[in-house]
């Protein structure tokens, strides 16, 4: 018999930021476990998740799997009778029922064994436990006096196959058909008659169990309320997932606060509303914060005044705190805070934040000079960049570091370029984040990231596996993005040398660059052809990649790439490559032809490279195809005459270097 299978775990409030991932992983693992046991008969599992439950409904599950027959190979046919009898007994067949089969190693006996199908009642509890153990839970907890461990204490277990309770115990809780509805709007236990009635029964008990449906309903209500107020929501997607995990029956209401608080920087108010209260701030048509916000309540009511007023009372002290910190912080200039950074440890082996600021100041000054920017402004921005770490606002809201530094710098009368660089030197903070805008901001941002990479690699803190506690992958990708997307004419090796970075840091950055360019749509071969040369100027790599792509489309490309690879192998085999060659020692027409073609090509190639016209340069190499093919067809590089051999190797070394000035073309060979 097959029927829908429902498994629900009723728990205490689950972590909201991981609820969606936990529920989806549980449903996928459970479906995989039952499929492995040949009990899942088809259909896609539906996943349910609310603050107090995760559940999965599999549409077609067998009560028992079908028996299966399989052939098992046994000992050689000439083995002792006792061994053959033991083999037959092990697989539940008579010796007379064994058959013989020829194999490359000789004749063996074969048993046709019968395997009974698994029974759902006997394996479901174990499959659920195994699915829970495989969930991505960083920390588990114990409760009561048992040994059960899970992300939160579990209080109920539903395991229904159609109308029937599947017996079993999971995490110390016995299965049944009872669950609970909304914490406030529903009273008592709810009996689930059939697995397929689960969602309906919960909806009647004021619980919207489907996470995606609940999220969509919250988003609909948010947009409706915002439109009614002729306001905009701004960025809200990340908070939407978290709020969806906090409510079971969502209702959106509008609250407000005294507009006098708008004198505080909007970022402070937005952060305290979003992070502490899970409110959705509203903005006017120009993107300016208004004095209103949206509340996602867990209770629908005809008269929400108490809910709205309660939330307004709760948020007011938070906003008062923000205003207090803002006013207090501005009583002291940023520059007077800098010496106190000597008491703030940056890293046990890398000194204090003051020592770090001194390094940033030197490095940012050098970078800005390379860019032709005002080094004094860059050094001033770097000197003040970390001062806001000692302000009350950043102490309360660490996410505002840099942003508050900008506000306080402007209040202190610092130049706008300095204030902007203080805020922008943390960019990009995350994937897809904006980059620093001006040369001063880019100089300080690069200094910040390069110093972190150099220092932490020096003291053995390179990322390992998935662990990256200091965000070095983000820093390295930030360096790549700033250099490439801001088209800064800076040599990465020079920057790393100024930052005193070990070679491992350079390798790490180039690896991040490989991933970055692959994500932009370039093939692995195209990226490797350019990046394997560790080009100094990352800002030129997009032009090089486009040139490689254009070259690869030429009819001559495949042959030249193969020849390039062959030349590389010859040079490796030769070991020492002479620095020059003598055309007078060339004796065969084919090598003379290739040498003269190469000589005629050089001015064009150099001119294109000087103009950074890499596409033209690589296309010019296409003229070498015919003489290169003829060379390898007729010329024996490893000639018996050592002078001729050395001359040919020296020539190939020059040719190979010219062909690979933009990219290693051998990487394009299939």
Q: What 3 state SS string does 512-549 have?
A: HHHHHHHHCCCCHHHHHHHHCCCCCEHHHHHHHHHHHH
**pLDDT tens digit string along 194-226?**
999 999 999 999 999 999 999 999 999 999 999
**CA 251 to centroid of chain Cα atoms:** 33
Q: Does 144 score more than 90 pLDDT?
A: no
161 DSSP 8-state letter = E
Q: Does 382 score more than 80 pLDDT?
A: yes
What per-residue confidence (pLDDT) applies to 533?
Answer: 93
Mean pLDDT of 277-290: 94
Mean pLDDT of 501-511: 96
Mean pLDDT of 359-372: 97
What per-residue confidence (pLDDT) applies to 310?
Answer: 95
Mean pLDDT of 457-464: 93
144 DSSP 8-state letter = T
How far does the chain reach from its first CA to its final CA, in angstroms? 54
Mean pLDDT of 440-449: 98
Mean pLDDT of 297-315: 94
Higher model confidence: residue 67 or residue 167? 167
What per-residue confidence (pLDDT) applies to 19?
Answer: 93
Distances from the Cα of 389 to the Cα of 217, 341, 385, 447, 472, angstroms: 40, 8, 9, 18, 20
Q: Decide if 443 contacts 499 (C-beta within 8 A).
A: no
What per-residue confidence (pLDDT) applies to 560?
Answer: 87
Q: How far apart are CA 620 and CA 662, in angstroms?
A: 12
The fold of 351-521 is Hypothetical protein af1432 (1.10.3210)
Mean pLDDT of 69-85: 86
Q: Does 520 score more than 80 pLDDT?
A: yes
Q: Does 115 score more than 70 pLDDT?
A: yes
Residue 89, both tokens? 């007994």
Rg (CA), the chain: 35
Q: Does 146 score more than 80 pLDDT?
A: no
Supply the mean pLDDT for the chain.
Answer: 92
9 torsion bin: left (phi>0), alpha (psi -120 to 50), beta (else): beta
Residue 30, both tokens? 């459970």
351-521 and 555-668 agree in CATH topology:
no
Domain extents in the chain? 2-64+119-204, 71-77+84-115, 212-329, 351-521, 555-668
Q: How confident is the model at residue 670 (pLDDT cuts 50, 70, 90)?
A: low
In CATH, what class is 555-668?
mainly alpha
Beta strands in 359-454 (DSSP E): none
**pLDDT tens digit string along 639-652?**
888 898 899 999 99
**Lowest mean pLDDT segment, chosen from 95-99, 218-222, 548-552:** 95-99
Q: Decide if 409 contacts 419 (C-beta within 8 A).
A: yes
Q: Are β-strands 351-352 and 345-347 bridged in parallel, bridged antiparallel, or unpaired?
A: antiparallel
What per-residue confidence (pLDDT) applies to 530?
Answer: 95
Q: How far apart are CA 56 and CA 51, in angstroms?
A: 15
345 torsion bin: left (phi>0), alpha (psi -120 to 50), beta (else): beta
**Lowest mean pLDDT segment, chosen from 475-489, 514-528, 621-635:** 621-635
Sign of CA dihedral 147, 148, 154, 160: negative
Q: How confident is the model at residue 239 (pLDDT cuts 50, 70, 90)?
A: very high
What per-residue confidence (pLDDT) applies to 141?
Answer: 87
Instruction: Pick from 144-148, 236-240, 271-275, 509-513 the range whose average pLDDT is largest.
Output: 509-513
Instruction: Enter the pTM of the model.
Output: 0.80
């Amino acid at each position: 018999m097959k029927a829908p299978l429902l498994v629900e775990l009723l728990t205490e409030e689950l972590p909201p930021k991981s609820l969606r991932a936990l529920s989806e992983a549980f449903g996928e693992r459970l479906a995989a476990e039952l499929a492995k046991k040949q009990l899942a008969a088809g259909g896609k599992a539906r996943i349910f998740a609310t603050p107090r439950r995760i559940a999965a409904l599999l549409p077609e599950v067998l009560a028992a799997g079908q028996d299966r027959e399989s052939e098992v190979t046994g000992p050689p046919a000439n083995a002792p009778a006792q061994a053959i009898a033991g083999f037959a007994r092990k697989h539940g067949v008579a010796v007379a029922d064994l058959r013989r089969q020829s194999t490359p190693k000789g004749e063996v006996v074969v048993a046709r064994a019968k395997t009974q199908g698994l029974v759902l009642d006997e394996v479901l509890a174990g499959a659920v436990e195994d699915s829970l153990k495989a969930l991505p839970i960083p920390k588990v907890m114990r409760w009561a006096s048992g040994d059960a461990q899970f992300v939160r204490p579990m209080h109920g277990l539903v395991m229904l196959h159609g109308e029937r309770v599947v017996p079993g115990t999971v995490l110390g809780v016995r299965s049944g058909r009872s669950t609970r509805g909304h914490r406030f709007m529903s009273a008592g236990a709810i009996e689930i008659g059939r697995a397929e009635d689960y969602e309906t029964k919960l909806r009647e008990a004021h619980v919207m169990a489907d996470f995606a449906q609940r999220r969509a309903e919250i988003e609909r209500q948010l947009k409706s309320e915002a439109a009614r107020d002729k306001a905009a929501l701004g960025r809200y997607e990340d908070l939407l997932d978290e709020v969806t995990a906090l409510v079971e029956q969502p209702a959106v209401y509008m609250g407000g606060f005294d507009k006098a608080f708008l004198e505080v920087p909007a970022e402070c108010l937005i952060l305290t509303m979003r992070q502490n209260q899970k409110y959705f701030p509203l903005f006017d048509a120009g993107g300016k914060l208004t004095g209103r916000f949206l509340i996602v309540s867990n209770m629908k009511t005809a008269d929400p005044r108490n809910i709205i007023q309660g939330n307004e009372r709760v948020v007011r002290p938070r906003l008062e705190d923000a205003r207090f910190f803002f006013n207090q912080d501005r009583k002291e200039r940023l520059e007077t805070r800098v010496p106190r950074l000597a008491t703030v440890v940056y890293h046990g082996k890398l000194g204090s934040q003051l020592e770090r600021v001194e390094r940033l100041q030197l490095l940012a000054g050098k970078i800005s000079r390379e860019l032709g920017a005002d080094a004094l402004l860059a050094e001033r921005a770097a000197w003040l960049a970390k001062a806001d770490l000692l302000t009350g606002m950043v102490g309360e809201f660490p996410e505002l570091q840099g942003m508050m530094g900008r506000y306080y710098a402007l209040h202190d009368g610092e130049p706008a370029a300095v204030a902007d660089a203080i805020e922008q030197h943390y960019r990009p903070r995350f994937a897809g984040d904006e980059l620093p805008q001006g040369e001063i901001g880019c100089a300080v941002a690069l200094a910040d990231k390069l110093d972190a990479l150099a220092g932490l690699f020096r003291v053995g803190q390179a990322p390992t596996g998935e662990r990256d506690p200091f965000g070095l992958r983000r820093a390295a990708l930030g360096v790549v993005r700033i250099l490439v997307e801001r088209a800064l004419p800076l040599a990465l090796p020079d920057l790393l040398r100024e930052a005193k970075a070990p070679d491992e840091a350079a390798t790490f950055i180039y690896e991040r660059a490989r991933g970055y360019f692959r994500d932009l749509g370039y093939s692995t071969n195209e990226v490797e052809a350019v990046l394997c040369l560790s080009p100094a100027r990352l800002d030129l790599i997009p032009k090089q990649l486009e040139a490689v792509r254009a070259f690869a489309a030429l009819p001559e490309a495949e042959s030249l790439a193969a020849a390039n690879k062959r030349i590389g192998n010859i040079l490796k085999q030769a070991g020492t490559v002479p620095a020059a060659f003598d055309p007078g020692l060339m004796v065969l027409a084919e090598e003379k032809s290739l040498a003269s073609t190469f000589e005629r090509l050089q001015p064009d190639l150099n001119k294109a490279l000087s103009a950074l016209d890499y596409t033209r340069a690589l296309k010019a190499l296409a003229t070498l195809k015919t003489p290169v093919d003829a060379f390898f067809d007729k010329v024996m590089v490893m000639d018996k005459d050592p002078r001729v051999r050395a001359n040919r190797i020296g020539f190939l070394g020059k040719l190979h270097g010219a062909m690979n000035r933009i990219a290693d073309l051998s990487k394009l060979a299939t």
